[in-house]
């Protein structure tokens, strides 16, 4: 009996360690349309008065438009997060359209708060992500029109258009405010800059190389 109780207690401990959340994981009302003017700071954005919401609070238009990819990456990302669509606040979901010029690259980045699932509408893409366990394993695949691929939450991932034509992707993310950290910008383009001594040591290169990279961001 004592042994069984012991088992029960360890099972309960396991259950709580897996399922105890430090924050509320689901909305506690129909919706919480973001009020960008509120000076209240909460985990997310404060809600507009529900009696003043309108259809347009739940609406965004423009994902049919091609992005302008005339930039060094050959890339344009059109997010539809709580910043563009206030009705997404607290709902744990958002969207994105990504346009790639031929050979355009969405450089290695991570969404700290979201898993991302994409589908290819046009073109051919090489995509990939890197695992933390097993350590630094690259998972990569070439995607064609209609293919779907998922980037697990928090992992570093990238895409490249490996065709001679433009490519278009629609994606969904499991957070209304997924965040994006692009490694080049975070490491070489932070404000203020990380010292070149640190980066030269970290990347085992000459400070001149670090300064060259810093100049790009």
Ligand X SMILES: *[C@@H]1O[C@H](CO)[C@@H](O)[C@H](O)[C@H]1NC(C)=O
116 among annotated binding-site residues:
yes
Q: Which residues pair with 143 in a beta bridge?
A: 125
Residues that bind ligand X (CB under 6 A): 35-37, 68, 70, 163-164
Nearer to ligand X, 69 or 106 (CB): 69
Q: How far apart are CA 49 and CA 51, in angstroms?
A: 5
34 burial class (0-12, 13-18, 19+ CB within 10 angstroms)? buried
Nearer to ligand X, 134 or 146 (CB): 146
DSSP label at residue 30: S
Nearer to ligand X, 10 or 68 (CB): 68
7 among annotated binding-site residues:
no
Sheet of 167-173: strand order equals 75-80, 94-100, 167-173, 116-122, 148-151
Contact in structure between 146 and 115 (CB atoms under 8 Å): no
157 among annotated binding-site residues:
yes
64 among annotated binding-site residues:
no
Question: Cβ 130 to ligand X, closest distance in Å?
Answer: 25
Annotated binding site: 106, 109, 111, 116, 157
Residues annotated in a binding site for oxalate? 106, 111, 116
Residue set of the binding site for Mn(2+): 109, 111, 116, 157
């Amino acid at each position: 009996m004592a042994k069984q109780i012991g088992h029960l207690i360890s099972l309960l401990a396991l259950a709580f360690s897996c399922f105890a959340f430090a924050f509320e994981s689901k909305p506690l009302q129909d919706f919480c349309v973001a009020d960008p003017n509120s000076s209240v700071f909460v985990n997310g954005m404060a809600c507009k008065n529900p009696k003043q919401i309108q259809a347009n609070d739940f609406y965004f238009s423009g994902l049919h438009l091609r992005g302008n990819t005339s930039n060094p990456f050959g890339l344009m990302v059109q997010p539809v997060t709580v910043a563009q669509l206030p009705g997404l606040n607290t709902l744990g979901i958002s969207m994105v359209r990504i346009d790639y010029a031929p050979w355009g690259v969405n450089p290695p980045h991570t969404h700290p708060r979201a898993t991302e699932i994409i589908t290819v509408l046009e073109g051919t893409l090489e995509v990939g992500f890197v695992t933390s366990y097993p350590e630094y394993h690259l998972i990569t695949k070439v995607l064609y029109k209609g293919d779907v691929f998922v980037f697990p939450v928090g992992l570093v991932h990238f895409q490249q258009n490996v065709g001679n034509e433009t490519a278009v992707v629609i994606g969904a993310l499991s957070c209304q405010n997924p965040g994006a950290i692009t490694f080049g910008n975070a490491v070489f383009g932070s404000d203020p800059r990380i010292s070149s001594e640190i980066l030269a040591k970290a990347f085992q290169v000459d400070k001149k190389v670090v300064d060259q990279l810093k100049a790009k961001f």
